[in-house]
Structure 1
């Protein structure tokens, strides 16, 4: 099973939190735990879902939680603990962009710095076409034209033994048609390169910088960045499944973090809510730098709530957050179908969020 088929996930442009909105607090402050559980019950009934969890936070305090479905396929394993860990997938990219923009704010990096000067080996070996023109800003905003390495179908979802270096993923992208510089084209390769830049500029590995700059300061004690060839989620959690070549669902509780690393953060509803609360309240990146991030249209509650979402084989996750940063609803659903067939899950998550955050609308 190629990763290209598995990666029918929402991209960063539709995943990033809308910034700079000035709106009143949502109705979430009045929502009770039963409302969250009812929404999760509805989400778990969606075709392709094995189990679903969610937690609602207002001003950092949990106001509701829910769990439905089961931890394992076939109704086995009991319910998933609502506070358990799950893969946040492409939401990791917003965290990485935040780290990069912090480095820019510290003067260690420039938005207009060229890829060729930051990673001369990449340019010298022609691993990226037009590296002398591509900037840090282009990588963050997916306007570099660099293809997504996953589109080549080289990386197998069920390969838990092959260790890849980031440059291997970049080389795989080089074999694919280059897009036009300045035009939006969602590509995880951009964030592989940003990770390489973080490590070169700081002298530390990416996981250490995430821990030092985000996880530790924000009290995200249950969050970590997966880095190993065969990474499993720590502690009790829901298992996701992905169809093999015969269409049979196979457990993908393990994923190869050396090819999925750009999307590799593992977190909880509490922790990911802490990140979005701090981010949306301007505590992580100065406002002038926040504007460098893509700005999707707000989705819910009359434009006061937006979402950050991600998908990997076996998992779909989304965090809804109010524009003022006070309210977050974090949802995760384990799957038994591939992401392309699970688009309805995203719709169900949005419906669940609307029921909790803006009832009556």
Structure 2
């Protein structure tokens, strides 16, 4: 099905966000039977993990919940409340992409619309190279070739971030972040290949605000959070917005090796690419509705779950439980935390987990989170 603008309607419009990875799986329905509390206790023993929380939901009802470790470094601050809020990182992109695609479904813009037409200022001010060729679909699927304003190294360094992650007060407007990306080489021709870039979703947030005349935070609330009763979820987009209520604190070493408390993370670095704060219940409610096509028609939902050519967006691997579970694993993270949600493709089962940590090298944490999911979801 092709989506176009209605006649006469002109579409106007960290230590950073890790790739929202969707890993395909195949075969039988999920039948979770494991102990979430035991899984969290094991996860908290992973080197560098400060605290961990998780929630298991089946058919919209919580069937398991757990917390381990501590709110603060060194075992201080008591346990993290299992129902507390946490940053979901780049899982935000699926929510923001959903808002944009709802506008597409309404005919207010089209997947083939050009960035330069939707946001003429980015072309006029030369903020995005070849803005007149880049389409909405390419932004959503990370095939635009626009470089990432963030980079690969959370602490900066050669080829790393262009923002100071330890600056908790400076407000970076979306156009400021896009301008940072302009000084970096393109990753390819428009539509040529997949290359993950936070800049794509910074621009998508700007498009949503231009098309609707309302803030991205407002559109997320009215189109996603309120209808799904995600009452503890909100978008942070400027300092000093942070995590409300008791929550886990993550840490990251600065250039001198001192651990810095990152719970005051600069919200203007997040925004559309990764600024949502949520809970295990709320993020599970979103992915349940998403996979049950209650937010988007299937052909538009697939824009977010498939790469060009029809292959699923994937970081590799064969799914959970030896590849027998049908579902997705979606990650998000920044300095001091990593979040992950498993969601079955039928929308019946979700397992959401968040870790706070105190190490720069988090290579072991993601696999440990997947292992916790398998210990719960693959139990017999």
Per the shorter chain, which TM-score range?
over 0.9
Out of 167, 170, 174, the residue aligned to residue 182 of structure 2 is: 174
Q: CA deviation at 1:259?
A: 1.8
> Would the aligned equivalents of 2:85 and 2:245 in 1 still touch at CA under 8 Å?
yes
**What residue is the counterpart of 2:249 in the other structure?**
239
TM-score (norm 2): 0.88
Per-residue displacement from partner, 1:188-240 (whole Å, max 9, x unpaired)?
A: 00000000000000000000000000000000000000122222210111111
5+ long unaligned stretches in structure 1: none
Match of 2:286 among 271, 275, 289: 275
State the partner residue of 1:25: 29
The structure-2 alpha-carbon separation of the partners of 1:185 and 1:307, relative to structure 1 and needing over 3 Å to count, comes to same
Q: Residue 171 of structure 2 contacts residue 268 of structure 2 at CA under 8 Å; is this kept in 1?
A: yes
CA RMSD of aligned residues (A): 1.5
Q: Distance in 1 between matches of 2:313 and 2:127?
A: 31
How many corresponding residue pairs? 345
Task: Report 1:2-13 matches (<5 A).
Answer: 6-7=15-16, 10-12=18-20
Q: By how many angstroms is 1:255 displaced? A: 1.2
State the secondary structure of the residue aligned to 1:321.
Answer: strand
Looking at structure 1, the residues matched to 283 and 330 of structure 2 have their Cα atoms a distance apart, in angstroms, of: 10
Mapping of residues 219-298 of structure 1, within 5 Å? 219-261=229-271, 262-293=273-304, 294=306, 295-297=312-314
1:291 alignment partner, SS class: helix
Structure 2 unmatched runs, 5+ = 1-13, 152-159, 307-311
Shift of the alpha carbon at 1:17? Answer: 6.8
Taking the aligned partners of 2:88 and 2:239, their CA distance within structure 1 comes to 18
Q: Which has the higher helix share?
A: 1
Deviation at 1:109, TM superposition (A): 1.1
* Residue 120 (structure 2) aligns with: 120
- Counterpart-to-counterpart distance in 1, 2:27 and 2:95: 24
SS state at 2:270 partner: helix
Question: Which whole-Å CA distance do the structure 2 matches of 1:140 and 1:251 have between them?
Answer: 32
Residues 278 and 17 of structure 1: is their aligned pair in 2 closer, same or farther, counting only changes over 3 Å? farther
Counterpart-to-counterpart distance in 1, 2:262 and 2:339: 15
> In structure 1, what is the Cα distance between the partners aligned to 2:214 and 2:116?
20
> Are the counterparts in 2 of residues 22 and 323 from structure 1 also a CA contact under 8 Å?
no
